Chains A and B, each alone.
Chain A
Amino acid sequence: MYTISNRLKIFSISLIILGALGWSYSYVTSHKSLEEVKEILSHESSHGDSHEVVSHEMESNNHKNAELSHESAEDKHAEHVMHQIHNRPYAALYVAAFFFMMISLGVLAFYGIQYASQAGWSPVLYRVMEAITYYLLPGALIVLAIAIIGDKHIFIWMDPEVVAHDELIQGKSSWLNKTWFVIRALIFIGGWSLYRYFSRRFSLAQDTDSGNKFFKLNFRISAVFLVFFIYTESMMSWDWVMSVDPHWFSTLFGWYLFASMIVSGITVIALITIYLKSKGLLEYVNDSHLHDLAKFMFGFSVFWTYLWFSQFMLIWYANIPEEVTYYVTRIEHYTIPFFGMIVMNFIFPFLVLINSDYKRIPWFIVMAGIVILIGHYVDVFVMIMPATVVDRWFFGLPEISALALFSGLFILIVFYSLSKAPLLAKGNPYIKESENFHY
């Protein structure tokens, strides 16, 4: 049995409090009036910065297009910038909330795959996975809440003013409207949480059951869940991420996000396993289990790169204006995070984890894992930020405090769940095979 230590509790609660304070401060200070923004801009231009940027996103970000049509271009620009400054705390909060929700969802899918494939190596890790997926329900509800409260600050298609002047969004309004968005989100979250609830219950019940009844039940619901998941995950990625750029679309976006999700999820399983092992727990987890997790981290990093590149290359090659604008914005204004994430998500884990022996060394896995997690945070950042704040981005107080807030919440909820059940799923029929797993 694991008991959550006071130090960890205080650490995560202070992360939450610091994050909440920092974010509130940045939220309050982001309420700049038009005059203040003009002052900032004149100050900036006196330093020689140029702000000639008017991209698609900004065009549609202009909420009061009609009223302002007689005003000068400078005023319009200041108006754009003001909205971007207002959007930033919402977007920062949304990126961090989505990132931690995504980890939990990725682990749930991985867990479902373990059951559906009747994996023999992994049952010793089931309790760690179950603990991580405990965050899914609160995490996903928070993402939904931020999406609803953030409203037009994150999703410009939620602004009726914008839709009234945008034929493309009007054409999509049968899918992209608030009511249907919320209903869909509740269906996704409901389905995932239902599976999570029952698989956890069956997993605990199997501990004391003499037969394999609950294991078989879990096998069945996992197969059903995986079918449900791959459809809802795809739709979720259109709704919660892709629709921040409502003009742009990519047909493999769901897979691309799934790759991000599962690699971050497996990384977190590995990190928590190594943490618990360092506390002297999970004594039956040997280096062959770590080796397998690291193989998955390596493999799914390559998988992510494959999908990222497939999406990029086709759009780059075809060079169709409505598609390529997505990458133009990102490469122009997000050069460092955009190319930096390829280094962090592909080149670094590829070179560090390619050697078979290194996949068994805990500190190598931790090092690669931290870089992978930062890389996938940046991946989400580069998906959301260009659509909401365009070039007004910085990794500053709102982003750091949002990250602190949700990492604190994630740690608290996951380790609370870990302390609720024995760390070994001892009733699982494959537990003996898993304990003796040897590569």
Chain B
Amino acid sequence: MGSSKIVHAIYNDDDVLLSAVKMVKDEKFHIEEIYTPFPVHGLDKAMGLEPTRIAIASFIYGCIGFTVAILMMNYIMIEDWPMDIGGKPSFSYIENMPAFVPIMFELTVFFAAHLMVITFYLRSRMWPFKNAENPDKRTTDDHFLMEIDPSNKLKDLEKILIESGAVEINIVEKESH
């Protein structure tokens, strides 16, 4: 498609932004992305984004951590170098299991937490030395930026945006990627 026009509407209040999102969506315009300095409660629902699946990922990571803990303790304390735990030298995993519960718990939490954070960063396409994606530096301070595809109805869109309380409207040429 080459280059196309894209509209940047800037707001300075999260409540105004939320109502603007509703107005723009009611007029059937497509919101590409919204950049905010802090998480805005209810914005994902207003934009109609799908609910996050990170909780499912986190549960799976927890299960992996739980399994790793069991296999690891079985190898270390039972198979490789059998240990007499609490004066009960049974050398069976299940009979010594209470001693391993704290480790099972810790590794479950460790895996769930760390892998979830890493997943979140990768999924948000954030990794070291990456250039910031936000088009306007003020979105890291006190402004909110809504990126909208005008789809050949630029005049209508501008009217709606002014009505919705935008403090600034910029039309930029964007290379499609």
Q: Are A312 and B86 in contact (CB under 8 A)?
A: no
Instruction: Check if B55 sits within 8 Å of A317, measured CB to CB.
Output: no
Question: Is B91 on the interface with A (CB-CB < 8 A)?
Answer: no
Is the Cβ of B98 less than 8 Å from the Cβ of A316? Answer: yes
**A394 near B: Cβ within 8 Å?**
no
B-side interface residues, number (CB < 8 Å): 8
Name A61-103 residues within 8 Å CB distance of B: none
Known A-B contacts A354-B59, A356-B55; the reply to A317 vs B101 at CB < 8 A is no
Residues of B within 8 A of A354 (CB): 59
Across the interface, do B98 and A312 meet the contact criterion of CB distance under 8 Å? yes
Give me the 5 closest cross-chain CB pairs, A-B, nearest first. Answer: A317-B86, A313-B98, A316-B98, A319-B86, A319-B87
Indicate whether A309 reaches chain B with its CB closer than 8 angstroms.
yes
- CB of A318 closer than 8 Å to a CB of B: yes
Q: With a CB–CB cut-off of 8 A, which chain A residues contact B86?
A: 316-319
- Tally A-B pairs: CB < 8 A: 18
B101 contact from A309, A355, A356, Cβ within 8 A: A309
Interface string of B24-63 (1 = CB under 8 A from A): 0000000000000000000000000000000100010000
Q: Which residue of A lies closest to B86 (CB)?
A: A317
Which residues on the A side are within 8 Å of B98 (C-beta)?
309, 312-313, 316-317
How far, in angstroms, from A355 to B86 measured CA to CA in the complex? 37
- State how many angstroms separate the Cβ of A342 from the closest Cβ of chain B: 11
- For the complex with contacts A312-B98, A319-B86, A354-B59, 8 further pairs of A-B residues with Cβ separation under 8 Å are A309-B101, A316-B86, A317-B86, A317-B99, A319-B87, A319-B88, A355-B55, A356-B55
| Dominant secondary structure at the A interface | helix
B101 — which chain A residues lie within 8 A by C-beta? 309, 313
How many residues in A have their beta carbons less than 8 Å from beta carbons of B? 10
| CB closest residue in chain A, given B56 | A355
Measured CB to CB, the closest approach of chain B to A402, in angstroms, equals 33
Q: Which residues of A contact B (CB under 8 A)?
A: 309, 312-313, 316-319, 354-356
Expressed in whole angstroms, the Cα–Cα distance for A312 and B102 within the complex equals: 13
Binary flags per residue of B96-129, CB closer than 8 Å to A gives 1, else 0: 0011010000000000000000000000000000
Contacts of A312 in B (CB 8 A): 98
Question: Which residues does chain A contribute within 8 Å of B87, judged by CB atoms?
Answer: 319
Contact with A along B64-92 (1 / 0, CB 8 A): 00000000000000000000001110000
- Please list 5 pairs of residues, one from A and one from B, whose beta carbons are closer than 8 Å in the complex, sorted by A's number: A309-B101, A312-B98, A313-B98, A319-B86, A356-B55
Candidate in B88, B98, B101 with the most chain A CB atoms within 10 angstroms = B98
CA distance A316 to B99 in the complex (A): 9
Least CB distance, B101 to chain A, in whole angstroms: 6
Closest chain B residue to A354, Cβ basis? B59
Report B-chain residues with C-beta under 8 Å of the C-beta of A355: 55
Closest to B99 in A: A317
Q: How far does the alpha carbon of A355 sit from the alpha carbon of B52 in the complex, in Å?
A: 13
Given the complex, which residues of B lie within 8 Å of A319, measured CB to CB?
86-88
A140 to chain B: closest CB distance in Å? 35
Nearest CB in chain B: distance from A229 CB, A: 30
- Report the Cα distance A309→B87, complex, angstroms: 19
Residue of B nearest to A351 (CB): B59
Q: A93 to nearest B CB, angstroms?
A: 34
Shortest C-beta distance, B72 to chain A (Å), equals 19
Q: Which residues on B sit within 8 Å (CB–CB) of A317?
A: 86, 98-99
Closest residue on chain B to residue A318 by CB atoms: B86
Question: From residue A75, how far is it (CB to closest CB) to chain B in Å?
Answer: 36
Bound-complex Cα distance A354 to B101 (A): 20
* Minimum Cβ distance to chain B for residue A32 (Å): 39
A168 and B86 alpha carbons, distance in the complex (Å): 27
Contacts of B99 in A (CB 8 A): 313, 317
Closest Cβ neighbor of B62 among chain A residues: A354
Min CB distance B39 to A, Å, is 15
Task: Determine the residue in chain B with the shortest Cβ distance to A314.
Answer: B98
CB distance from A307 to the nearest CB of B (A): 13
Q: Tell me the complex Cα distance, A10–B160, Å.
A: 63
Distance from A322 Cβ to chain B, minimum over Cβ atoms (Å):
16
Q: Name, among A317, A318, A354, A355, the residue most crowded by chain B CB atoms within 10 Å (CB to CB).
A: A317
In the complex, what's the smallest C-beta–C-beta distance from A347 to chain B, in angstroms? 13
User: Closest Cβ of chain B: how far from A59's Cβ, in Å?
Assistant: 25
- Give the docked Cα–Cα distance between A426 and B47 (Å): 36
Determine how close the nearest CB of chain A comes to the CB of B22; give it in whole angstroms: 17
- Identify the closest chain B residue to A438 (Cβ): B42
In the assembly, what is the distance between CA of A260 and CA of B86, in Å? 29
A312 to B99 Cα, complex, angstroms: 11
